[in-house]
């Protein structure tokens, strides 16, 4: 299943806040590199005002100063923090007749403020920078970054990103924006090139929301590559053991371990429900004691070692 | 100070935090607690999870706050003087009201509302929820009907996006800047202004195409009458949020409590002179539950299945212990070096209890007394 993922050009990692998108994106990129791919690991800046804000993704792969310029992290793995302003600059350079004009325009306070105040234009800039990177080629004509793994912001914003192209096309079907949006959609909607991976936790609500999210991105015709059920607790019960304990607890009252037990039950129910309702394959990742980079390494190993 | 006294004394409580940590749930639970403590409270929620909306009896698309019936609010105790209203933020409604209020004539308002660009703007969720929340908060505070407004903030990657958005808008709405985007005849200014305006015109023309640029400029022209009003409100809101009687709480979950980010949030508030009031560590196992260890069950185990089951439970209890200890450690780290008056409280994992209103009441109590 992973091999099929590696054949695409862009993998979009999305999901609710805190479910492990960033950790998974980093592990996925590592796993792809381990399978011999050249990977660009990308994330979206928080907002243009604070380019200083901490970037969990950058620190997970050991990038000290995250920026909108691609930096090579290790052989085969590069990192970039997509920035609206950078994307807008590239866009202006492409559409304006004179290159100098783009720089002059961006030095104009009025235009800069316009670009940052209009929400759609910010997201547009991000999208455009990503497209520009995907399109970059090497001297031999092959793509410079054959595979981009994008760590998207939490659901609300990710959906807004997904809805943006249609919204933009509805008001400006023509012109340079329309053209590049259409080009973006060709990439985004092509299931051989793009796939979304929806990360979620083994809890009832996150699962419901993931199923809703799957429907929503389906509406925007973005292909779903897989669901990712993260932090699945290990299952300590021998067959019959769970029911036996239930009887004992029924007779002798609650004991410590109760909260963990309830959590485990929820997790198992969630896994069953997700696997049977998601219109895509499901990857599962274990809950591990590690943090940060060690966690990423272990999850990457788990991914590459997992039966495909 | 305790969370209880925040609930008793403040006028605005803003709940910030990363996506999915429990801002909306906490906002509702704190609103319930404050109302039960006797205050007139409004909870402004954004996109509540379905079961939360159901637990509170909210309807979507309501144009007015929904009062929670006192019998429900006070279920189990005597009805007191406090009241709770809840409103689910509807950006469309908020904007429409704003446009109507700030427009010189009803016709002018209609021109804006019917414009397709207006609809395009208000359709895009990103950013717009933030503007709308700020706008709605300002409206309710101005009205003065409530003693406490508890404000939930939109899901965002960044706890402070909510605060940045109105500022971005206000900065853009600087007259000198806006005038550059207006149709020619409305503009003014000298040579530099004209040169810049021309540059912008050709840039916008190349980006958006001539006809769309014309349309956009016309829209800006129609909208520009509202700008000074919007700007004023953004400033007024800023003043209100930095006042003594406002408080910002950061909600975090044990999983996503990266101390680095938590500290960053505090610094950001400080930099903006906004009153930081502390942390809510949501869904935590920090509280002792005082239960017996499952070892005790071993002697009751009669067969292999039961023994195996108890062994597994012992294993789970050990994990639970590790987790609970981690949560306690986290809580005491959060409590270190708090400024005076700020709190660090833990909200328990409520499991499926939140399905009814009683669950919110208990969560509110747990928070207020922790
Ligand atoms: N499989 C796992 N086992 C244990 N801990 C995990 C696992 N996956 C993620 N975590 C932990 O969960 C926390 C949140 O992870 P992460 O930052 O990747 O989430 P996210 O979805 O990117 O969050 P955000 O929405 O804030 O960007 C981190 O502390 C991470 O170490
Ligand atoms: N203390 C708790 N115990 C159990 N479940 C909780 C608790 N707090 C929140 N939840 C659940 O977690 C989910 C997310 O909570 P909530 O919607 O309040 O988060 P949020 O921060 O407002 O999310 P968003 O960023 O999407 O607005 C909901 O399903 C809610 O019921
Ligand atoms: Mg992340
Ligand atoms: Mg919420």
**Span A62-74, pLDDT tens digits:** 998 888 999 999 9
Contact: B181, A110; criterion CB under 8 Å:
yes
- List, in order of start, the domains of chain A with CATH numbers: 2-305 (3.40.50.300)
Q: Residue A62 and residue A42: Cα distance in Å, rounded?
A: 14
3-state secondary structure of B47: coil
Cβ-nearest to B171 among A113, A156, A252: A113
Q: Is the pLDDT of residue B362 over 60?
A: yes
Nearest atom of ligand 2 to the alpha carbon of B155: 25
Q: Is the pLDDT of residue A58 over 80?
A: yes
| Residue A259 sits at the chain B interface (C-beta within 8 Å) | yes
Q: Residue A74 and residue A89: Cα distance in Å, rounded?
A: 28
Most confident of A214-223, A291-300, B172-181: A291-300
A271 versus A186: the higher-pLDDT residue is A271
Residue B297 lies in a domain: no
Helix axes A84-95, A109-117, angle to 10 degrees: 120
Contacts of A96 (CB under 8 A, 6+ apart): A102, A105, B203, B206
> Mean of the pLDDT values across residues A197-202?
95
Say if CB B25 and CB B55 are below 8 A apart.
Answer: no
pLDDT recorded at residue A157: 58
> Around Cβ A252, how many Cβ atoms within 10 Å?
13
| Residue B47 sits at the chain A interface (C-beta within 8 Å) | yes
Cβ-nearest to B264 among A53, A176, A257: A53
- Tell which one of B15, B21, B22, B26 to mutate to probe ligand 2, the residue whose CB is within 8 A of the most ligand atoms: B22
| Residue A308 sits at the chain B interface (C-beta within 8 Å) | no
| Residue A216 sits at the chain B interface (C-beta within 8 Å) | no
B113 versus A280: the higher-pLDDT residue is A280
> Mean of the pLDDT values across residues B352-364?
88
Q: Which residue puts its alpha carbon closest to atom 18 of ligand 2?
A: B22
> Mean of the pLDDT values across residues B190-214?
78
B6 versus B53: the higher-pLDDT residue is B6
Contact: B126, A47; criterion CB under 8 Å:
no
Say if CB A78 and CB A41 are below 8 A apart.
Answer: yes
| Residue A306 sits at the chain B interface (C-beta within 8 Å) | no
| Residue B207 sits at the chain A interface (C-beta within 8 Å) | yes
Residue B302 lies in a domain: no
Q: Does ligand 2 come within 6 angstroms of the Cβ of B155?
A: yes
pLDDT recorded at residue B108: 87
Residue B138 lies in a domain: yes
Residue B42 lies in a domain: yes
**Span B85-102, pLDDT tens digits:** 999 887 778 888 888 988
pLDDT recorded at residue B287: 85
Residue B301 lies in a domain: no
Helix axes A84-95, A99-107, angle to 10 degrees: 140
**Which of 56-115 (B) contact A at CB < 8 A?**
none
Q: Residue B152 and residue B155: Cα distance in Å, rounded?
A: 9
To the nearest whole angstrom, how far is the Cα of A177 from the nearest Cα of chain B? Answer: 6
Residue B211 lies in a domain: yes
| Nearest residue to B181 (alpha-carbon basis) of B147, B152, B211, B219 | B219
Residue B305 lies in a domain: no
Number of domains in chain B: 1
What are phi and psi for residue A280, nearest 5 degrees? -165, 160
Contact: B297, A252; criterion CB under 8 Å:
yes
Q: Residue A60 and residue B12: Cα distance in Å, rounded?
A: 37
Q: Residue A251 and residue B174: Cα distance in Å, rounded?
A: 71
Q: Where are the beta strands (DSSP E) in chain B?
A: 12-16, 40-45, 66-67, 83-88, 148-152, 246-252, 276-284, 343-348
Contact: B157, A154; criterion CB under 8 Å:
yes
> Mean of the pLDDT values across residues A73-93?
91
- Domain of B59: which CATH number? 3.40.50.300
Q: Does ligand 1 come within 6 angstroms of the Cβ of A177?
A: no
Q: Is the pLDDT of residue B249 over 90?
A: yes
Q: Is the pLDDT of residue A120 over 90?
A: no
Which range of residues forms the domain containing residue B233? 3-291+316-368
Q: Residue B281 and residue B330: Cα distance in Å, rounded?
A: 9
pLDDT recorded at residue A308: 41
**Span B326-350, pLDDT tens digits:** 999 999 999 988 888 899 999 998 8
Q: Residue A76 and residue A63: Cα distance in Å, rounded?
A: 14
pTM of the model: 0.83
pLDDT recorded at residue A161: 65
Residue B88: how many CA atoms within 13 Å on its side-chain side? Answer: 15
Q: Residue A17 and residue A155: Cα distance in Å, rounded?
A: 7
Contact: B313, A240; criterion CB under 8 Å:
no
| Nearest residue to B208 (alpha-carbon basis) of A5, A120, A282, A298 | A120
B33 versus B193: the higher-pLDDT residue is B33
Residue B296 lies in a domain: no
Contacts of B31 (CB under 8 A, 6+ apart): B41, B42, B43, B84, B86, B148, B150, B364
To the nearest whole angstrom, how far is the Cα of A193 from the nearest Cα of chain B? Answer: 26
Q: Is the pLDDT of residue A226 over 80?
A: yes
Q: Is the pLDDT of residue A131 over 50?
A: yes
| Residue B156 sits at the chain A interface (C-beta within 8 Å) | yes
Name which of A82-96, A212-226, B38-52, B110-124 the model is least confident about.
Answer: B110-124
Mean of the per-residue pLDDT values for chain B? 84
> Mean of the pLDDT values across residues A269-296?
95
Q: Does ligand 2 come within 6 angstroms of the Cβ of B282?
A: yes
> Mean of the pLDDT values across residues B292-305?
91
> Mean of the pLDDT values across residues A239-260?
91
Q: Residue B171 and residue B364: Cα distance in Å, rounded?
A: 38
- What protein residues have CB closer than 5 angstroms to ion ligand 4? B 23-24
pLDDT recorded at residue B164: 66
- Burial level of A154, CB count in 10 A (0-12/13-18/19+)? buried
Nearest atom of ligand 1 to the alpha carbon of A289: 4
């Amino acid at each position: 299943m992973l091999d099929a993922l590696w054949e695409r050009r862009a993998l979009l990692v999305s999901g609710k806040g805190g479910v492990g998108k960033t950790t998974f994106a980093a592990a996925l990129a590592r796993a792809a590199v381990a399978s011999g791919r050249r990977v660009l690991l990308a994330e979206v800046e928080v907002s243009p005002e604070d380019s200083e804000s901490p970037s969990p993704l950058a620190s997970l792969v050991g990038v000290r100063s995250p920026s909108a310029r691609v930096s090579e992290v290790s052989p085969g793995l590069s990192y970039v923090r997509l920035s609206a302003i950078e994307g807008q600059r590239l866009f202006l350079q492409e559409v304006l007749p004179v290159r100098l004009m783009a720089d002059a325009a961006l030095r104009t306070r009025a235009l800069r403020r316009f670009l940052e105040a209009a929400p759609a234009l910010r997201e547009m800039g991000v999208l455009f920078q990503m497209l520009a990177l995907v399109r970059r080629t090497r001297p031999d004509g092959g793509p410079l970054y054959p595979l981009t793994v994008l760590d998207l912001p939490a659901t609300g914003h990710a959906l807004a990103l997904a809805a943006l192209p249609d919204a933009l096309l509805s008001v400006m079907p023509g012109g340079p924006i329309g053209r590049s949006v259409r080009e973006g959609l060709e990439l985004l909607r092509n299931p051989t090139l793009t796939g979304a991976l929806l990360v979620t936790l083994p809890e009832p609500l996150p699962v419901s929301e993931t199923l809703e999210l799957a429907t929503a991105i389906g509406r925007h015709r973005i292909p779903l590559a897989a669901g990712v059920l993260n932090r699945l607790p290990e299952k300590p019960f021998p067959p019959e053991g769970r029911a036996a304990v239930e009887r004992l607890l029924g007779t002798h009252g609650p004991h410590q371990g109760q909260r963990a037990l309830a959590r485990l039950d929820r997790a198992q129910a969630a896994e069953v429900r997700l696997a049977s309702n998601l219109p895509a394959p499901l990857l599962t990742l274990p809950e591990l004691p590690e943090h940060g980079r060690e966690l990423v390494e272990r999850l990457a190993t788990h991914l590459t070692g997992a039966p495909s | 100070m305790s969370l209880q006294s925040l609930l008793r004394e403040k006028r605005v409580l803003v709940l910030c935090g990363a996506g999915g940590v429990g801002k909306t749930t906490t906002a509702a639970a704190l609103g319930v607690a404050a109302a039960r403590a006797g205050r007139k409270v409004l909870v402004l929620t954004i996109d509540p999870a379905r079961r939360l909306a159901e637990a509170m009896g909210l309807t979507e698309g309501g144009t007015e706050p929904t009062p929670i019936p006192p019998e429900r609010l006070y279920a189990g105790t005597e009805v007191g003087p406090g009241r709770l209203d809840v409103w689910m933020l509807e950006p469309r409604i908020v904007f429409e009201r704003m446009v109507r209020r700030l427009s010189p004539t009803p016709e002018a308002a209609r021109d804006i509302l019917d414009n397709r660009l207006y609809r395009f703007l208000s359709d895009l969720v990103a950013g717009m929820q933030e503007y709308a929340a700020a706008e709605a908060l300002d409206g309710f505070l101005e009205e003065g009907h409530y003693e406490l407004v508890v404000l939930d903030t939109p899901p965002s990657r960044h706890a402070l996006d909510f605060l940045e958005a109105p500022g971005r808008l206000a900065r853009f709405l600087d007259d000198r800047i806006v005038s550059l985007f207006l149709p020619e005849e409305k503009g003014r200014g000298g040579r530099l202004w004209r040169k810049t305006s021309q540059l912008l015109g050709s840039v916008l023309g190349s980006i958006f195409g001539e006809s769309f640029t014309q349309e956009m400029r016309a829209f800006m022209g129609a909208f520009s009458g509202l700008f000074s009003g919007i700007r004023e409100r953004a400033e007024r809101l800023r003043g209100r949020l930095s006042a003594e009687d406002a408080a910002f709480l950061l909600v975090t979950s044990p999983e996503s409590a990266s101390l680095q980010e938590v500290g960053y949030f505090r610094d950001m508030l400080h930099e903006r002179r906004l009153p930081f009031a502390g942390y809510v560590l949501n869904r935590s196992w920090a509280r002792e539950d005082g239960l017996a260890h499952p070892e005790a069950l071993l002697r009751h185990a009669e067969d292999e299945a039961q023994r195996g089951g108890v062994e597994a439970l012992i294993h789970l209890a050990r994990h639970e212990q590790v987790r609970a200890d981690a949560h306690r450690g986290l809580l005491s780290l959060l409590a270190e070096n708090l400024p005076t008056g700020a709190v660090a409280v833990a909200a328990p994992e409520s499991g499926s209890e939140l399905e009814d209103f009683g669950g919110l009441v208990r969560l509110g109590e747990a928070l207020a007394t922790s």
